[in-house]
Structure 1
């Protein structure tokens, strides 16, 4: 168990105005959690201090070799005043899987959970309560060793920051338009695609800029070898409902194992809805679109929860999904997951954890 040292801010910030919409990831709370690692000493000096700049040497290894990991989860306020986290154990597990791939020391899962809970409790007043809002939690680790040589760092900083947020996409639950990328590659099997690290996201920016210029919200990536099998969207995993069956690309080493992805698969099994994790080609997708068997497409992720897809574009072909609106199954998934997160739907699967 961590012995967390507390330093409360003497200048608390003003909460966002209740009538102003919250833009995702632009406002931050009063405090941050920090903990250091040093080889031979391990993780130590756990503390919650006022939110502010972090001082690093210009030679810190994170700046030069990109050795860093981050996570994302949310806290919610229920109508009866409880504060809930959604499956934080899965984020702790994934964080350590990323750490292992990136040669970062693992963090005991109970310490990860304690740090998150302590931060949420400290800044609990920041949890928004308007529909569609939540408190986004961003844990991350960076390499801090001042050394210009390619090797794993001997020093790290683990931090947790919080941000009250609204919808990730401006469209909210309105279907988004997705660009299927055929030029660039996000990740390949054997690389770091299954780790949650900045390198995967910066690799996606060129395609994202191109897609935005064409009026599309996000990029859907294809496999790096054959350029024909669907992998994931820039900030989400992806699902297709074809002929009553729910399909999603199988985890193959280049796809991030999303917590919401896992939750959707679990709900499908719980409801006895046929679900498959397998390779899905663009050709299969477009054939399903042509013959009318493609019923729904939706992305899943912590930030957006569920994001329906109304249009897909590959090369010069544009495919409209259904009538271009949100599908019945996508709506059911969204209502169920957000209902569990907000304490409005019975949590029969034991996914929520109360912060006390």
Structure 2
């Protein structure tokens, strides 16, 4: 029985800031952002969007009534959780109107959370072949204004429907993984912004990739020539390129050219969204699938997941026959086309808007937010969500 990705949805807020203009405002050469870290635009979430609404909007576009009935497990990977007790998956379960006889949990391990969710989903489907699992990777990356990490912020979510006999990608076995207790990136529970040792984190990301890649080769006797493309977790898009380059010397020239060319395609979406933590790897995969129209069924795609702190995993997927028929290319093209640029000053104002933490009531005007599912305010220490279609 094949198990893998049957559908993929994506959502990012309707606002963004141009990285060239942000660089000028910060007295930085624009090339440092556009080439040095490889980012063109950064998604800006209005106060009416949070990790729950981003995930729900990403899933909304891909689920039909049959999916909603068969989904009996919702796994929400995030490092931007809104509650230390209640899982974000429970909110999404209600907002989407899913089958009540389902599990709903939240998984946390930095940017690795959604990957852990996928592996849990595979096990569930193996035991329950007729069911489907909704895996969500949704985050808002915040480092603060005028900080060293500011240019690697972003917001968005990817929704993956995992099932037997998948129509997009079969997920293979032979996964390899690695854990090491390091402090390259972390966010204490009292802080709404992350702390990061940037140089150390970059080094560990590459080291983890090299280690799991060596383990994978030893386990499978495969090499770079066997892969049409390798997709990476992309906290910023230059990071994945650095990791790929670290192993390219072992490839023939033809294989190098193919892998580099396909990497460029796989980072297009991320380049225009920014860092979405748990969803970043799957946004890269989506970019490859939707932007490379000659990618053939049967192609083997490598996937490298990394969550600081740290856990890394390398695994693979095989594209299924007619997989492009099950993508939502037109919807995602429209999503990007409809976004609105904000000035740096407007971005700074939006960034500093926060929800009350003292139990007071707040009502938000969601009429200017084009998303179907929004955060409408706070009341009695509870977030108030609305689905405009209800």
Q: Same fold (TM over 0.5)?
A: no
Scaled to the shorter chain, the TM-score interval is under 0.3
Q: Which has the higher contact order (CA 8 A, sep 6+)?
A: 2
Report the TM-score when normalising by structure 1.
0.27
The structure that is helix-richer by fraction is 2
Question: Larger Cα Rg: Structure 1 or Structure 2?
Answer: 1
